[in-house]
Each structure stands twice: as structure tokens, then as C-alpha cells.
Chains A and B, each alone.
Chain A
Amino acid sequence: MTTASGERVLVRFTVASEPGNERLALAQVAEAVAGTGLTDDQLDRLKTAVAEATMNAIEHGNHNQADVPVDITVVDTGEGVAVSIVDQGGAHAPATAPEVELPDLDKKLAGLQSPRGWGLFLIQNMVDAMDVSTDGDEHTVRLLMRTTWPPRPRDPKGGSRAEQM
């Protein structure tokens, strides 16, 4: 199965929006990407990013409503692996990305910043690219881990390739 953009779908599944289910997501993603050429280090980083993005989807997107699923799709883009994590929080997502204070360990240790707030920071540092989009109720975080670098030049005949994120 391929997507409209020519990416090969490796797996598509849902998890219920219950705390802890990010472990189910990362296990299924890890199984799906076996053989795609990711190094062990890339796989570990992708698993952490998937877990954090799924946690955010469960908690902030679907508000821990177990009957509202998080949809996860893993594709082989031809240049790497992309994982899309979709929740139903789009309707109340801000029109523009909010200013998020970067986690600062000095401030956290001084009690000037909450100990929490590492999730987005970790995702951004784990993957090669992250794209966030909203379409109606659907809020999508797409994570990309490249297996080829630099990206291949665009095929002028329109062949399959990873989208620019």
C-alpha cells in the first residue's frame, strides 16, 4: 500500500488514549521499521520521539479519553522513515504555534521553571525533522528519520521521494 505521495505504508494502527499506551505505539513502530536501514541509535531516537509525541496526543490532544484513538502511520519515504501521529485535538489547537519556553535545567533546579516540559524538546532533538499540521479536528505530528543523507535530489519525472518537512 502506498500513500498519495508515493510513500510505502509499513503499518497503520491506533492506540486508545490511555496513559502508558505510548509503549504500545513505540513497540509497533519499532517492529514496522525493522529492515529499513535505521541504525540502532536512530531506532532508539525514533522510539523516544514516537513515545513522546504519542503521550502528547493522548494527554493534550485527546485528553485521556480512552474511546478517542490516536492514529499512527509509519511509511518508508524512500529516504527514511516517517511516522505520523494523529489526535483529535485540532479544533482547539492554536492557529499558530505557541511560544514554548525552552527547558532550562539551571532554572528548573533553582525552582524558576517546572521540572516538566521536556517532551517537545526531546522530540526535536531525537529526529531529523518534525512537522505539525492541523486539518479540522485532526492534529498531526509527523516525525522523519533519514536513512540517506543528504536527501536525494528531486526526481524531475516525479518519482517517489520524501516530502520536505
Chain B
Amino acid sequence: MQSKCEATTRSLPGCAVIELRGEVDGSAAATLSAAYDGAVATDEPPCVLLDFARVDYINSTGIALIVSVLAKARAQGRQVIASGLSDHYRQIFAITRLSDFIQLYDDVDAAAASVGVA
């Protein structure tokens, strides 16, 4: 299945930002994994921000991918935070308890401010 997910990474002081676009489903596995590995490869950031502002669909397999990223980050001692989720996906992050482990922010600026890089 062709991936309908794109990812762009950029660095802020203390935080790597992964901006996702499109659909976070099973087809996004390689995209998300490569984006994470690329984002943390250079300056070993203590925090990774997943920005979902331009994501219009997340399904259960996408949730599993996010769990995998979270597990990997935690094993490496990194914090994961997220921004740009719609109210519906905030609800899903609460139901799945992802929001117990991933602090949610309205947008990238608010998230960046929280880690002191605004």
C-alpha cells in the first residue's frame, strides 16, 4: 500500500520537530520510522515533537506506530510531545492513554515554548 503520509524534520534547540502530513496509518510505518531516526541522528535532542496539524486521518495501526515511536524514544531517554491534534484525536490519545505519556499542545509554537525554545 502506497504511503499517504509525508514527514518533514527540523531542529529547534533541545527539540527535534517531525511535521507529519496526510494519513497516519499502516502505510506510514517506513515514513515515520525514517523521520524519527533522521530527526534524532544529528544532535541527540532530548525531546521529539510530533506535529499533527496537517494530518487528517489516524487509524488504529497509526496509533500502534506512535506507540512504537514513543517506546523507542523512552528507551533512548527522550521525551515525546505532540501538537496540532484535533479534538477528536485528542480524545483518542486520552482513551488510549497516549496523552499520559505524550504532553499535548495546540501548536508547534506552544510546544516549543514549553521546552524553552520559542
Contact = CB atoms under 8 A, between A and B. Distances in A.
A and B: interacting chains: yes
Contacts of B63: 118, 122
A109 B101 contact: yes
A20 B22 CA distance: 13
A2 to B, nearest CB: 31
Contacts of B23: 23
Interface string A6-47: 000000000000011011000000000000000001001100
Main secondary structure on B side of the interface with A: helix
A105 B59 contact: no
Contacts of A105: 67, 96-98, 100-101
Given A19-B1, A23-B57, A55-B59, A118 B96 contact: yes
Interface in A42-77: 44-45, 48, 51-52, 55
B92 A116 contact: no
Interface residues of A, number: 25
B70 A45 contact: no
Given A45-B88, A118-B96, A108 B27 contact: no
Q: How large is the interface on B (under 10, 10 to 19, 20 to 34, 35 or more residues)?
A: 20 to 34
A90 interface: no
A122 B88 CA distance: 12
A115 B68 CA distance: 6
A115 B60 contact: no
Interface string A113-138: 01111110110010000000000000
B74 A109 contact: yes
Interface in B20-77: 23, 25-27, 57, 59-61, 63-65, 67-68, 70-71, 74
Nearest to B59: A51
A51 B88 CA distance: 14
A41 B71 contact: no
A109 B71 contact: yes
A41 B26 CA distance: 24
B78 to A, nearest CB: 13
Contact of B60 (A44, A45, A109, A122): A122
A125 B23 CA distance: 21
Contacts of B1: 19-20
16 contacts: A19-B26, A19-B27, A23-B57, A41-B88, A41-B91, A48-B88, A51-B57, A51-B59, A52-B60, A55-B59, A55-B60, A108-B67, A118-B60, A118-B96, A119-B60, A122-B60
Closest 6 CB pairs of A and B: A44-B88, A118-B60, A115-B64, A119-B60, A115-B67, A116-B64
